[in-house]
């Protein structure tokens, strides 16, 4: 009997999903922590990444795991362009301008997604949904397991990049104190460009992975924005490890919520957790490490 315990299975599935949530949230968290901007278009960027993988898969049959690399490259470019063209002049000018520019970008991406692909939900079903293996307490489906491993590897790579490269150190220095970093000779403009590029690329990667598990439609952007922001709040702005923990917590609680309250409440559970955490500690559970309000 594979499903010996429905709750255990649900928790395992939640953990596997949570890894991708963590990856999706990492980009949002980095940009928030370093640039003090909440990327309102983050969920829509994730949607675009998913569509790139879906289109590549539909046209050539190439697995979304490879499509993900293309999605990351293209989305990195989009992030760089976004910073250089639109956000450069407003990034340090308070809340209103950046938030409205990113809101506008979300509208544009959502519209393009709908026009190019139609309003229907699509997925990159790689055709081995039933396959997997039993680990005794639960059944591990291949797509979920593989996407989880890839997500965690990407998170680890991002952490190593921030920890051990010169650019990564400059990024962390900028997050700690923008002005001081500038005085130390760090080109903060350049840091912002790289940060938004990485943040956007990570959104694209998470989207490509999610396209292997769930149908994606042009309107999922808002929902994923809220999910990823919930992870950021749970994990603390700018904290890589915190984001991983937050993602896992969100994945598990969503799945348990869907199990016990009904599928319609999957998203309600994550939003309520999110609002509850915000209200207990408005700057996030482990807040204060990065920029933030």
Per residue, the 3-state secondary structure of 144-174, as one string, reads: HHHHHHHHHHHHHHHHHHHHHCHHHHHHHHH
Residue 185 φ then ψ, to 5°: 95, 10
Rounded Cα distance, 238 and 175, in Å: 8
Residue 7 within binding range of other proteins, rule CB under 8 A: no
**Nearer Cβ to other proteins (9/270):** 270
Smallest distance, other proteins to C-beta of residue 95, A: 5
Of the candidate spans 50-58, 111-119, 124-132, 190-198, the one that interacts with other proteins by CB under 8 A turns out to be: 111-119
Rounded Cα distance, 282 and 292, in Å: 11
Residue 81 within binding range of other proteins, rule CB under 8 A: no
- Within its chain, how far is the Cα of 281 from the centroid? 22
With tokens 């640039």, the residue in question is 35
Q: How many CB atoms lie within 10 A of CB 189?
A: 12
How many chain residues bind other proteins (CB under 8 A)?
45
Q: Is 124 helix (H, G, I), strand (E, B) or coil?
A: coil
Q: In this structure, are residues 79 and 199 in contact, taking their beta carbons and an 8 Å threshold?
A: yes
Interface mask (CB under 8 A) for other proteins, residues 176-215, using x and -? ----------------------------------------
Residue 225 within binding range of other proteins, rule CB under 8 A: yes
Residue 84 within binding range of other proteins, rule CB under 8 A: no
Residue 220 within binding range of other proteins, rule CB under 8 A: no
Which token pair is 229? 């922001």
Smallest distance, other proteins to C-beta of residue 97, A: 5
Q: In this structure, are residues 175 and 3 in contact, taking their beta carbons and an 8 Å threshold?
A: no
Q: Which of 62, 69, 74, 107 binds other proteins (CB under 8 A)?
A: 107
Q: Which of 6, 7, 73, 115 binds other proteins (CB under 8 A)?
A: 115
Of the candidate spans 70-78, 122-130, 156-164, 277-285, the one that interacts with other proteins by CB under 8 A turns out to be: 277-285
Residue 283 within binding range of other proteins, rule CB under 8 A: yes
Of the candidate spans 55-63, 101-109, 180-188, 203-211, the one that interacts with other proteins by CB under 8 A turns out to be: 101-109
Q: Which of 201, 274, 286, 290 binds other proteins (CB under 8 A)?
A: 274
Interface mask (CB under 8 A) for other proteins, residues 226-255, using x and -? x--xx--x----------------------
Rounded Cα distance, 107 and 81, in Å: 17
Q: In this structure, are residues 243 and 227 in contact, taking their beta carbons and an 8 Å threshold?
A: no
Q: Is the dihedral of CA 146, 151, 154, 156 positive or negative?
A: negative
């Amino acid at each position: 009997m594979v499903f010996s315990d429905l709750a255990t299975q649900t928790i395992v599935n939640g953990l596997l999903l949570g890894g991708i949530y963590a990856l999706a949230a990492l980009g949002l968290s980095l940009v928030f922590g370093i640039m003090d901007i909440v990327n309102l278009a983050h969920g829509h960027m994730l949607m675009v990444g998913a569509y790139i993988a879906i289109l590549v898969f539909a046209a050539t049959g190439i697995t979304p795991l490879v499509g993900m690399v293309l999605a990351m490259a293209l989305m990195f470019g989009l992030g760089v362009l976004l910073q250089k063209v639109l956000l450069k002049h407003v990034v340090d000018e308070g809340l209103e301008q950046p938030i409205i520019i990113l809101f506008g970008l979300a509208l544009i991406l959502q519209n393009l997604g709908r026009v190019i692909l139609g309003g229907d939900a699509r997925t990159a079903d790689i055709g081995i949904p039933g396959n997997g293996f039993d680990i005794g307490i639960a059944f591990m489906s291949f797509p979920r397991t593989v996407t989880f491993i890839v997500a965690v590897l990407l998170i680890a790579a991002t952490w190593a990049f921030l920890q051990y490269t010169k650019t990564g150190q400059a990024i962390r220095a900028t997050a700690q104190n923008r002005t001081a970093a500038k005085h130390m000779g760090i080109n903060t403009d350049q840091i912002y460009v790289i940060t938004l590029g990485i943040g956007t690329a990570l959104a694209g990667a998470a989207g490509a992975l999610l396209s292997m598990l769930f149908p994606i439609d042009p309107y999922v952007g808002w929902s994923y924005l809220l999910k990823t922001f919930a992870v950021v709040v749970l994990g603390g702005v700018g904290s890589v490890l915190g984001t991983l923990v937050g993602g896992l917590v969100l994945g598990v609680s969503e799945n348990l919520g869907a199990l016990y309250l009904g599928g319609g409440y999957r998203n309600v559970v994550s939003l309520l957790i999110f609002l509850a955490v915000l209200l207990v500690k408005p700057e996030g559970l482990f807040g204060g490490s990065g920029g933030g309000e």
